[in-house]
Chains A and B, each alone.
Chain A
Amino acid sequence: MGPSLLLDELLALPRWAEAVQLLHRGSHPSRISRFNLTSDSRSASSPGSLVCLTSAELPTWQISALVRGAADNGVSGVLVPSRDVLDVPAIRLAARFDVTLLAVTDETSIMDLVVEARVYLAAGELASSRILLRLPAALELDDVGASISAAAQLLDATIVLTRSSGTVISAAGPDADNLALPTRAGRSVDSESRLEVFSHAITLPGRTVHEGWLAVAAPIDPGVSTAGYASLPMLVSWARFHLASVLLARERDLTHDQAVVAGIDPVVSAVEDDDRWFVGLRISHSLGKVEEDFNRILAAFDVEGFSPILVKQGAGWSGWIAVSRGSVKAAMRLRQRLESVIVTTGLRAGIGTIRKGTQGRFVSIEEAALAGEVAALRHVSGGGLLLSIDELSDSELVLLALRMSAIRSAAMKLLGGAVAVPELLRTLRVYLDQQSSLVDTAAVLGVHRNTVAGRITRLQELVSVDLGTPDGRLAALLAVRAFGESDTPESPR
């Protein structure tokens, strides 16, 4: 349910207060969540809507028909463009069916009124959007404490990041000193401090044990804002990235022996990084002769005179190379050499952009991880693939974001029972890709148009959005992308 207005609140808006004359009000307080603009009596009205007639040319008997249709659909009211279009039968009918009836003075445009009301309805979302847009910049500050502090201030909440041991890494916000350290994931309410707390266990990819805790707390009254809720996945992602960096640094020492075996001098990594330039790397594998392939890659580094710091992480390796002013050309050659090696292997690799300092190194590693993930997902006929972050299209980056677990669970909820039926999910994907054309969908799937129509009817019963509306179709499209067709179970046949 989106934001809504009581009729009194609506009429209190500046333009509405002067322009609208209330002719009749229902006995129940009307709550208005949307505005249906229509120019004839056959309005596609829905519960909670204010039906706004934009044409004063309608024959008067059709106003009565509009009122009756509104009553049958449980709308919150009917707004007409001039009091003159309302005759006694229409007003009597509105009274009989308890329909709120509003009229606008001739000087006022209904479109202006609706725009004002919609802006008012969206105001909360706009404020949240602004906060969310500013949050990434706050989290990119060099220091973890500064990032947490800026985020807490932005969200007007308390944020605490701890290690799994309970050691506080950073905490900021009005209740930072009072907040009990999280020990359990989920939402809880501290009745003493009247705080609503969201606790997340931070788990890194490929690991089963969590590395730390992130807690976000705000007073129960007025409660966590929309921006607060929406920012949680971003904060968790940031915390995961930060803890991964910490872990990477720690594992760097643990993999000393591996590095020696690989012919790398681990002492290099101990040098202070803030004035140096780095390129992040991510190499992943599935099955096969991994060691042999890995050794060939190490040889490529060696030929160009680079000593990579690579640690084993999940199904592959992550790390970086340091690049000096004199080795830029060599780095470009390395890129080509790595590519020529990787295409002969089953490996998938990602490269970040060249960045300065410790923070830059972390960012480049994260970029390499993203590029590596896209490389792993992208279909290539035989051989491996290397992608740098610069080569990713905007759509690939957005789609990658859609595969975050939080969004995937929402997508599964939206798709409902359709996720269990591969042919329905495929039909939905193609239908949305083909701009809701039954004919084109049928052509792509190789079935009859009526079959597609039947499946869409079944899909409409299974999914939780209205496929007949633009918003519904967009949400369904994103859900299909986030869920991924390959996630569906195999067809039973």
Chain B
Amino acid sequence: MKRNCLPQHHVSDAGAAVVDLVTSCELDALERGAWILGAGGGGETTVGRMLADRAIGEGVPLMGRAALARVGVEAHVLPIGIIGASSTVGAEFLPSGQECLLVARKIEELTRVALGAVVAMQAGGINALTGLAAAADLGLPLLDADLAGGAVPRLDQLSNGSWEEPVVPVVLVDAVGRVAVFDTADSDSSLDSSTLERLVRSFVGVSTGWAAIGFRPIQRDRTPDLVVWGSMTRAINLGRAQATQNSDWDHYQPELDSQVLAVGRVVGLHRVRDTKGWCLVETDRGQLCRLDMQTEYLLVTVDGLLAASVPDVIVVLERHTGIPLATDNLRLDFEVVVIRLAALPYPDDPRLQHELSPAGYGLESSSRK
């Protein structure tokens, strides 16, 4: 049943300071915003939207930082999402809709903690919507936060591993119900984030190409330091702004700290083994705008001068429709708009800061400091 959307259900611009309700009225904006925050990656949102439509019911409470105290002191927050090749989620192995639920049950069984809330692994791409659907299915509130401030390609770039916080057990459930658990034998053993990344990718690679993933639940009182706050309301607000955008890109400013870096035509495109490459845009003003990309857009130079780089969110929109373009959807002669959105504050753990910087993506020479 289509919900009658009333203005009072809109998420406040200041973020979910207490508890807002995300209803079906916000799903259009959330999907568009998640697409934008995906920064050219993050996974195609269509299937995630279908899962959210099915699960949302009367709505999912969106819990801001100040509202976290409402869950019990013993409660834990479950980080959850989908990992793997996003194209197979919709095209080859459709989800049953039970994967995240299975992940949560397995995590509960392994850790024996009470879950009080869910946090989406990423607010960019499909995971904003699957996080919402998982919260709805579990009957838990969703944090106005994520682990990436948008989308990142690697598990060791997620904020729940900051300050050497353990993230295992990690549970994966693939499209045909196979379960994998990565854990350590005891608290003296360790599983570093880069090794975990390789283990998880190995499982995904030999299973169905994607899997639902859940991490060790975060203690309520540790949560504020291990997530990126404001991500979900940001996605919704970006989606709203984009919905009302006409083609006057010179005056487009969806957020205070955002910039249109280039408006022009794709004149060069290069990909190396489908994982990294560059795109060259010749702007209307004759400038040369270069985008370096992997699964997301990572760095922009305009006429050789650095204009934006990760962890800022770099977005490429189709010029005439405003539709966000994924890195693998770019084509020669596309007319595009390149936008920079400032990164949300994320934990200032030096390791994480490095992993999220251009150096963490191999975009800095070793001689640069």
Q: Mark B93-128, 1 if CB is under 8 A from A, else 0.
A: 000000000000000000000000000000000000
Is A364 an interface position by the 8 A CB rule? no
Contact mask for chain A residues 49-77; partner B; CB cutoff 8 A; 1 contact, 0 none: 00000010111111011111101000000
- Is A92 engaged at the interface, CB distance under 8 Å to the other chain? yes
Instruction: Tell me whether A61 and B288 are in contact (CB under 8 A).
Output: no
Shortest beta-carbon distance from B337 to chain A in Å: 19
State the interface size on chain A (CB cutoff 8 A). Answer: 25
Tell which of A57, A65, A66, A93 touches B288, judged by Cβ atoms closer than 8 Å.
A93
Q: Mark B328-369, 1 if CB is under 8 A from A, else 0.
A: 000000000000000000000000000000000011111110
- A344 part of interface (Cβ distance < 8 Å): no
Complex interface residues of chain B between 279 and 293 (CB less than 8 A to chain A): 280, 286, 288, 290, 292
- The complex places the Cα of A93 from the Cα of B290 at a distance, in Å, of 10
B368 cross-chain contacts in A, Cβ below 8 A: 40-42
Known: A40-B368, A57-B365, A61-B290. A88 touches B280 (CB 8 A): yes
Contact B365 A58 (CB under 8 A): yes
Interface-centre pick from A59, A60, A93, A97 (highest chain B CB count, 10 A): A59
Which residues from A are CB-within-8-Å of B267?
Answer: 92
The answer to whether B268 touches A64, judged by C-beta atoms less than 8 angstroms apart, is no
Query: What is the bound-complex CA distance between A93 and B287, given in angstroms?
Result: 9
CB distance from B275 to the nearest CB of A (A): 15
* B365 lies within 8 A of A93 (CB): no
A405 proximity list for chain B (CB < 8 A): none
In the complex the two chains form, is A88's CB within 8 Å of B268's CB?
yes
Contact B270 A65 (CB under 8 A): no
Interface of A is mostly: helix
* Residue from B270, B286, B288, B363 in contact with A59 in the complex, judged by beta carbons closer than 8 Å: B363
- Establish whether residues A61 and B301, one from each chain, have CB atoms under 8 Å apart when the complex forms: yes
Contact A89 B280 (CB under 8 A): yes
Number of B interface residues, CB 8 Å? 22
Residues B304 and A59 in contact, CB atoms below 8 Å apart: no
- Residues of B near A92 (CB, < 8 A) are 267-268, 280, 288
* A39: chain B residues within 8 A (beta carbon): 365, 367
- Contact B365–A65 (Cβ < 8 Å): no
Q: Which of B270, B280, B301, B304 has the most CB atoms of chain A within a 10 A radius of its CB? A: B304
Q: Which residues of A contact B303 (CB under 8 A)?
A: 68, 93, 96-97
| Chain A positions within 8 Å of B301 at CB level | 61, 64-65, 68
Asked whether, in the complex, the Cβ of A62 is within 8 Å of the Cβ of B305, the reply is no
* Residue B306, interface by CB 8 Å: yes
A35 vs chain B, min Cβ distance (A)? 19
For B300, the closest partner residue in chain A by CB is: A61
Chain A residues near B299 (CB-CB < 8 A) = 61
Alpha-carbon distance A71/B267, docked complex (angstroms): 22
User: Does B35 have its Cβ within 8 Å of any Cβ on chain A?
Assistant: no
Shortest Cβ gap from A182 to chain B (Å): 59
CB distance from A23 to the nearest CB of B (A): 16
Whether A8 is near chain B, meaning CB under 8 Å from some CB there, is no
Contacts of B229 in A (CB 8 A): none
Once the chains bind, are A87 and B270 in contact (CB under 8 Å)?
A: yes
Determine if A62 and B278 form an interchain contact, defined as CB atoms under 8 angstroms apart.
no
Which B residue's beta carbon lies closest to that of A63? B304
Report yes or no: A69 in contact with B270, Cβ–Cβ below 8 A: no
A64, B270: Cβ atoms under 8 Å?
A: no
With beta carbons under 8 angstroms apart, the residue of A61, A68, A71 that contacts B292 is A61
Tell me, in angstroms, the Cα distance from A67 to B288 when the chains sit together: 13
Kindly state the separation between the CA atoms of A39 and B369 in the bound complex, as whole angstroms: 13
| Residues of chain B with a CB closer than 8 A to A89's CB | 268, 278, 280, 288, 290
* A64 x B364 contact (CB < 8 A): no
Measured between alpha carbons, how far is A97 from B363 in the docked complex, in Å?
24
Q: Which residues of B226-278 have CB atoms within 8 Å of chain A's CB atoms?
A: 267-268, 270, 278
Which residues of B lie under 8 Å from residue A65 when comparing CB positions?
301, 304-306
A80-109 CB contact bits vs B (8 Å, 1 = yes)? 000000011100110011000000000000
Bound complex: CA A62 to CA B367 (Å): 12
Contacts from B to A (Cβ < 8 Å): 267-268, 270, 278, 280, 286, 288, 290, 292, 299, 301, 303-306, 362-368
User: Would you give 13 A-B contacts (Cβ < 8 Å), ordered by A?
Assistant: A40-B365, A41-B365, A61-B292, A64-B304, A65-B304, A65-B305, A68-B303, A69-B304, A71-B304, A89-B278, A89-B288, A93-B304, A97-B304
Those 6 A-B pairs whose CB atoms lie nearest each other, nearest first: A68-B304, A89-B290, A64-B304, A40-B367, A58-B365, A88-B268
